[in-house]
Structure 1
Amino acid sequence: MKVSERLALVDKIGRELQTRFTFGERDDYLTAWGIARPENVGVNSKWVYSRAALAPQPLSKVIEIAGDLGIDAAGTESNAPANWRDTKLFRLFISHISQEKVKATRLKECLATYGISGFVAHDDIHPTLEWQDEITRALFHMDAFIAMHTRGFSASTWTQQEVGFAVARGVKIVSLRMGEDPTGFIGRRQALPRLQKRAEDIAKEVHELLSEDPRTKDRLASAKTSAIDDDEIPF
């Protein structure tokens, strides 16, 4: 495994621990693997803390932890979807039916101002790439998930599989009610109503939700800092 791939795998594990566990649970999990508390880590971030703890560990242990968490050791940055391979922005999967790709793309554009890189299948998959594989890569690498519940969303096999993937991974899920109510596993979640709001308004609300949720706030803050440093946010 290349050094860059090892670092990417450590980063992936750190994000998974941030999403899945509380601070206490994270400590218990790392301790169970015989990993000591890292020194001189003054950032109150599960993601940064976990990376610092995992960085000096043997590669064999890192790969074993990845397997325990259900992370493919080959699923590193080099295997991320094309539009996410070279970005430090927050990765948000935007689930939508094909008829609503214009609205999904518009939402993606508005979210970019907050350091959020949206994945819209009908917009981000290059013609030369296998589209099903590229969607799967995005689902494995996403930091959070938003479902655009327009009419027909619940009847789509593809969107329902995407929702199921997000539920199984335990990532933050935002439901946007745009003609349909959430159903199935996410039916009990309170959805954001479309009402008369424009894409800019919805993007602001999504940003606020991600900024407040313990599973995403640290990652989003880090992404926004990187975006400012690297000038990744579109002008």
Structure 2
Amino acid sequence: MQRRFGYSEIDAFLAEFGISPPGNVSSNSKWVYSKVALSGVAEDVLLGIAAELDLISRGAGFASVTEPRNWIGTRLVRLFISHISKDKLKATRLKDCLLPYGISGFVAHEDIHPTLEWQSEIERALHTMDAFIAVHTPGFSASFWTQQEVGFAVGRGVKVISFKMGEDPTGFISKQQALARRDRSAEEIAKEIDQLLSEDPRTAERLKQAKASLAPSPQRDDIPF
């Protein structure tokens, strides 16, 4: 960091990982400043920082951290929520309603910090997700990006849920029975997603462990669904 950043840039970079600027540092060295800031930080967060700085060589005998920023250190089930940009608020609303069930959603338009390379963060989420949900709003099947995400999920063999919200699933996942929106609220849909994940052997045990680690958290209810 001392070679790449100034002091204010170090603070901004570390803030992305929830690390506050250090207090009084009796040195004019950015190396010392960074060392003090990182003192006591959890190992998984340090590895995430190292990966972001390209200090970890993936696949060469070194530790590999590929989680996106919002999943680093999580014990919850990691659910990739695939959606088109115009419906990001619907995806965010669903994400908020899933959290009480021990499910941490990844919504690209919300979870990627402006200073992080967006495509790399999406790839990290796809590589480390436990399950995948496609939010089939009108225009989903025409999106180049969402179709790539669907193909990635099918190729990895993770649990895939098709959520029909105005458009029928197409392609590889069209043969699966879709979860229908009907007139149900986001809370009701989240409950059914929880049920689907709890019944699938690929996610059941992880979901059980995730629920055991839960702490109460507030929900947002200001986004229409």
Structure 1 letter corresponding to 2:217: P
Larger Rg: 2
TM-score (norm 1): 0.66
Q: Which residue does 1:118 correspond to in 2? A: 105
Give the CA deviation at 1:223. Answer: 1.0
Distance, in Å, in 1 between the alignment partners of 2:122 and 2:115 is: 14
Matched, 1:101 2:80: no
1:155-194 mapped onto 2 (5 Å cutoff) = 155-194=142-181
Q: What 5-or-longer segments of structure 1 have no aligned partner?
A: 9-66
Name the % identity. Answer: 65
What residue in structure 2 maps to residue 208 of structure 1?
Answer: 195
In 2: Cα distance, 1:153 partner to 1:113 partner: 27
CA distance in 2, matches of 1:164, 1:79: 19
Q: Please, which of 194, 204, 208 is the counterpart of residue 217 of structure 1? A: 204
Query: CA shift at 1:97, angstroms?
Result: 0.1
Secondary structure of 1:79 counterpart: coil
Residue 117 of structure 1: how far off its partner (Å): 0.4
Matches within 5 A, 1:42-53: none
Deviation at 1:225? Answer: 1.1
RMSD: 2.1
Deviations 1:20-79 (A, max 9, x none): xxxxxxxxxxxxxxxxxxxxxxxxxxxxxxxxxxxxxxxxxxxxxxx8xxxx97684x33
Shift >3 Å, 4+ stretches? 72-76
Query: Which protein has the bigger helix share?
Result: 1
Structure 2 residue runs without a partner (length 5+):
1-42, 48-58, 219-225
2-structure distance, mates of 1:101, 1:73: 38
Q: Match for residue 234 of structure 1? A: 217
What pairs up with 1:124-135 in 2 under 5 angstroms? 124-135=111-122
SS in 2 for 1:203: helix
8 Å contact from structure 2 (residues 66, 127) kept in 1? no
What is the CA-CA distance between 1:224 and the residue it aligns to? 1.1
1:92 aligns with 2:79: yes
Give the Å deviation of 1:100. 0.2
Give the distance between the partners of 1:88 and 1:155, measured in 2 at CA: 34
Question: C-alpha offsets along residues 79-116 of structure 1, whole Å, 9 cap, x if unaligned?
Answer: 31000002111100000000000000000000001010
Q: How does 1:7-156 map to 2 (within 5 A)?
A: 76=64, 78-156=65-143
Name the SS for the 1:189 alignment partner: coil
